[in-house]
């Protein structure tokens, strides 16, 4: 279908919704279509800024009746910009940010437009936390629907393993519940199959005792010490209790106040840690990291959990240009560390980084078919994260990321993370991300979205 140039019947759409409708040319339209990754610049036909499930139902029916392409946006943080499509009706859920916590049942119910920080803020009032990601401005919807990992993953599994239920508006405009007890096949598909099955309006998360204080933060050394520091990373991570999550990264030192001026702009290696159990035990566990060599900066301290969840935010601002390559790893081998260091030395921008996230633990103990996010053999995530400012530097930075990834890829499991796939990664990479789950997902897609209405994502074709 060729997209019409003007939205048909905008007044009819406005009359159907409680939230505003934005057309091209308005400030609201520009804000809604804007994404975290400035590499992506797409123009939907119109924006329906929904205020609740009723608005979502009305907008889905409106689009279906007029054969309009549909797309939906949570936090807008997807690297591939999957939330916004040219010529589509965009359902912007970013005003739906309510969070309700039931501390006795240990459940948080969050509207789908929430950012991670919204959920952390409300759950931490009760000393509880959901399993979410590392940057508080990320949307919960995209993160959860594609899997999700963060500081609590080693203890409790993927974010999607810890979802208790979702409310979903289906392709035929019905609001249905998806849980173990209701529509279990839909529930299964939603826990890793991306936004392929409908528009999620609410997510219920299981909560765990975490914080309010944890031991977390960064220790940094000059990049010349990378072989030793990465050796320490391997040793500590391998023996670490599940309460400890360790991330290794290499980049140019940012002009952050915790790093001395003399090192700004120079290459560093850093370890990011979170001990989410008893802080006194955490201090004991991270002591060998803090005592290692001669760090140039150390902010690995007791701090509020919610603060740790936002510690990296400033390094990932909206509006820069981003390009990632990523792979799951079964272990950290010394030869991989050598390549990691080599490619870090070739970084083409002061904002880029090579990162190793530790995720092994609870997720490895669940059966492969537990949820479609699968990849139960993954223990680390390699992320080659390109980040720069000017369009004229696109080629240099994307080439760096691709070269680093293809050199380190042989150390991977063969699987990759759906939520880290870039725009140019085709269906073969979606297959690599979903693996054996893809066939069952296609069958579920045929039942819940036989006409492939929800296709502006890493798409699962109906069987």
Ligand X SMILES: Cc1cc2nc3c(=O)[nH]c(=O)nc-3n(C[C@H](O)[C@H](O)[C@H](O)COP(=O)(O)OP(=O)(O)OC[C@H]3O[C@@H](n4cnc5c(N)ncnc54)[C@H](O)[C@@H]3O)c2cc1C
Question: By C-beta, is 135 or 289 nearer to ligand X?
Answer: 135
The b/e string for 114-131 (b: 16+ C-beta within 10 A; e otherwise) is bbbbbbbbbbbebebbbb
- Sign of the torsion angle spanned by Cα atoms 80, 309, 246, 312: positive
Question: By C-beta, is 142 or 360 nearer to ligand X?
Answer: 142
**Least distance (Å) between residue 231 CB and ligand X:** 25
- Sign of the torsion angle spanned by Cα atoms 78, 137, 148, 390: positive
Q: Residue 164, exposed/middle/buried by CB under 10 A (0-12, 13-18, 19+)?
A: middle
Question: By C-beta, is 190 or 263 nearer to ligand X?
Answer: 190
**Least distance (Å) between residue 237 CB and ligand X:** 17
Question: By C-beta, is 36 or 221 nearer to ligand X?
Answer: 36
For residues 208 and 128, give the distance between their C-alpha atoms in angstroms, rounded to a whole number. Answer: 5
Of 249, 203, 228, the C-alpha closest to 353 is: 249
**Least distance (Å) between residue 372 CB and ligand X:** 14
Question: By C-beta, is 150 or 360 nearer to ligand X?
Answer: 150
Q: What is the dihedral of CA 113, 119, 125, 131, to 10 degrees?
A: 160
**Least distance (Å) between residue 262 CB and ligand X:** 28
Question: By C-beta, is 92 or 243 nearer to ligand X?
Answer: 92
Say which DSSP state 12 is in.
H
Question: By C-beta, is 70 or 263 nearer to ligand X?
Answer: 70
Q: Residue 74, exposed/middle/buried by CB under 10 A (0-12, 13-18, 19+)?
A: buried
For residues 113 and 286, give the distance between their C-alpha atoms in angstroms, rounded to a whole number. Answer: 35
Angle separating helix axes 427-434 and 437-448, nearest 10 degrees: 110
**Least distance (Å) between residue 124 CB and ligand X:** 18
For residues 265 and 349, give the distance between their C-alpha atoms in angstroms, rounded to a whole number. Answer: 10
Question: By C-beta, is 290 or 429 nearer to ligand X?
Answer: 429
**Least distance (Å) between residue 142 CB and ligand X:** 2
Question: By C-beta, is 196 or 341 nearer to ligand X?
Answer: 196
Give strand pairing partners of 275.
215, 244
Q: Are 230 and 340 in contact (CB under 8 A)?
A: yes
**Least distance (Å) between residue 103 CB and ligand X:** 25
Question: By C-beta, is 44 or 76 nearer to ligand X?
Answer: 76
Question: Where do contacts with ligand X occur on this chain (CB under 6 A)?
Answer: 36, 71-79, 82-83, 93, 112, 133-135, 138-139, 141-143, 145-150, 194-195, 199-200, 316, 419, 457
243: Cβ contacts below 8 Å, ≥ 6 apart: 154, 155, 275, 276, 277, 281, 282, 285
**DSSP state string for 19-75:** S-EE-TTSHHHHHHH--S-TT-----SEEEE--SHHHHHHHHHHHHHTT--EEEESS
**Least distance (Å) between residue 316 CB and ligand X:** 4
**Least distance (Å) between residue 342 CB and ligand X:** 25
**Least distance (Å) between residue 288 CB and ligand X:** 25
């Amino acid at each position: 279908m060729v997209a019409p140039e003007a939205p048909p019947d905008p007044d009819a759409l406005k009359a159907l919704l409680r939230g505003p409708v934005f057309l091209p040319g308005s400030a609201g339209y520009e804000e809604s279509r804007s994404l975290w990754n400035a590499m992506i610049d797409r123009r939907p036909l119109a924006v329906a800024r929904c205020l609740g499930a009723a608005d979502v139902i009305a907008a889905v029916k409106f689009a279906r009746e007029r054969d309009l392409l549909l797309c939906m946006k949570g936090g807008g943080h997807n690297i591939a910009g999957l939330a916004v499509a040219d010529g589509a009706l965009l359902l912007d859920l970013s005003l739906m940010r309510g969070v309700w916590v039931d501390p006795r049942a240990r459940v948080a119910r969050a509207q789908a437009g929430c950012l991670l920080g919204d959920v952390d803020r409300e759950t931490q009032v009760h000393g509880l936390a959901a399993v979410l990601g590392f940057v508080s401005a990320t949307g919960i919807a995209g993160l959860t629907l594609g899997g999700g990992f963060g500081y609590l993953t080693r203890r409790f599994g993927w974010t999607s393993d810890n979802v208790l239920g979702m409310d979903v508006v289906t392709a035929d405009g019905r609001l249905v519940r998806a849980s173990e007890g209701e529509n279990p096949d839909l529930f299964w598909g939603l826990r890793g199959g991306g936004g392929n099955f409908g528009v999620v309006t609410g997510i219920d998360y299981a909560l765990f005792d975490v914080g309010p204080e944890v031991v977390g933060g960064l220790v940094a050394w000059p990049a010349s010490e990378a072989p030793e520091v990465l050796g320490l990373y391997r040793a500590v991570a391998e023996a670490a209790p599940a309460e400890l999550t360790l991330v290794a990264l290499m980049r140019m030192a940012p002009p952050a106040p915790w790093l001395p001026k003399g090192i700004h702009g120079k290459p560093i290696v850093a370890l990011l840690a979170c001990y989410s159990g008893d802080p006194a035990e955490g201090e004991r566990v991270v002591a060998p990291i803090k005592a290692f060599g001669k760090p140039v900066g150390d902010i690995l301290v007791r701090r509020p959990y919610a603060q740790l969840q936002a510690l990296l935010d400033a390094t990932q601002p909206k509006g820069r240009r981003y390009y990632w390559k990523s792979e799951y790893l079964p272990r950290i081998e010394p030869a991989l560390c050598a390549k990691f260091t080599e490619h870090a030395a070739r970084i083409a921008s002061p904002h880029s980084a090579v990162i190793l996230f530790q995720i092994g633990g609870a997720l490895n103990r669940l059966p492969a078919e537990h949820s479609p996010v699968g990849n139960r053999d993954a223990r680390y995530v390699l992320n080659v994260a390109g980040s720069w400012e000017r369009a004229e530097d696109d080629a240099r930075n994307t080439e760096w990321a691709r070269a680093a990834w293809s050199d380190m890829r042989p150390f991977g499991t063969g699987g990759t993370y759906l939520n880290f796939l870039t725009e140019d990664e085709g269906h073969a990479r979606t297959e690599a991300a979903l693996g054996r789950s893809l066939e069952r997902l296609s069958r579920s897609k045929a039942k819940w979205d036989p006409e492939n209405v929800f296709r502006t994502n890493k798409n699962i074709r109906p069987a």
